[in-house]
Amino acid sequence: MGTASITLAPKLLATPLPKAIGVQLWNIREYLKKDLIGSLTKLAKIGYNQLELFGYDGTYWGKTPKEFSKICTDLGFTIISAHFETGRIDKAKGTLWYGWDKAVEDTALMNIPYMVCAWLFKEERTSLDLYKALADKLNTAGETCQKVKIQLGYHSHNFEFPPIDGIVPYDLLLERTDKDLLKMEADLFWITKAGVDPVAYFKKHPGRFPLWHVKDMEKGSEQFAEVGHGIINFDRLFAAREIAGLKHWFVEQDQTSREPFESLTMSRDYILKKNF
């Protein structure tokens, strides 16, 4: 069944879109567990053609890196980026602290140009010393990535912005890391949620933000919304794409009251109307 799905997929896909539309697979995380190939096929039919991965543990959903890469290629996807954790708390393999060399090797095998540190557990955010150690680790991890022409990035949330002892952790990460070894993935929702202007950061650190998460915020509740159906001014943000250094962006909606593929279709429809 799986092989047949891959073989037939190109005939089932929608007409190729005139531009790249990226998506973070976290949107359909529960579906991927149940039906990997069927879920990816449905995502491709909606019109998304660039992917950002998550969940590496030596495999992706039980598939070797080579197997998973072929599935994506056969469905017409280009994999742009993959998310990883630090491993400091859970000591999981394939993380910055545990098994990073193998993770980089597998990512290079898949021809993925970006690896991104995606998340910090609460225990990793309690002091400036922890952030300093993280910055140092990101520098060394970035050096490993550059040896195989991969760019390391760091994904923002809102927890990096409240000051600790008068210092904003996000500023510390930007200033303590080498601008060539570490780029930033700006999550437009979480930065806005923190009460910070993304454009101000783009101007302060030009060229440092080649990756974005494009997600919207519901009016009033400040919960996640389909892109173009909330209060975030994407026209203003995308007008600053050059100074930010934007190369790729991914639609992400962590939670939705709708069926996730419906939400992704709504976001796609808005994006197609725009010259992003």
Distance CA 64, CA 61 (A): 8
Which amino acid would we find at residue 204? Answer: K
Inter-CA distances, 145 with 47, 49, 248, Å: 30, 25, 18
Task: Tell me the residue type at 69.
Answer: S
Tokens representing residue 276 in the block = 């992003």
| 251 neighbors 227 (Cβ within 8 angstroms) | yes
Q: Which domains does the chain have, with CATH numbers?
A: 2-7+39-273 (3.20.20.150)
pLDDT in tens, the chain (276 residues): 343 333 333 333 444 445 799 999 999 999 999 999 999 999 999 999 999 999 999 999 999 999 999 999 999 999 999 999 999 999 999 999 999 999 999 999 999 999 999 999 999 999 999 999 999 999 999 999 999 999 999 999 999 999 999 999 999 999 999 999 999 999 999 999 999 999 999 999 999 999 999 999 999 999 999 999 999 999 999 999 999 999 999 999 999 999 999 999 999 999 999 978
CA 276/CA 234 separation, integer angstroms:
9
pLDDT at res. 12: 39
Residue 11 has a pLDDT of: 37
In the prediction, which pLDDT does 19 show?
Answer: 79
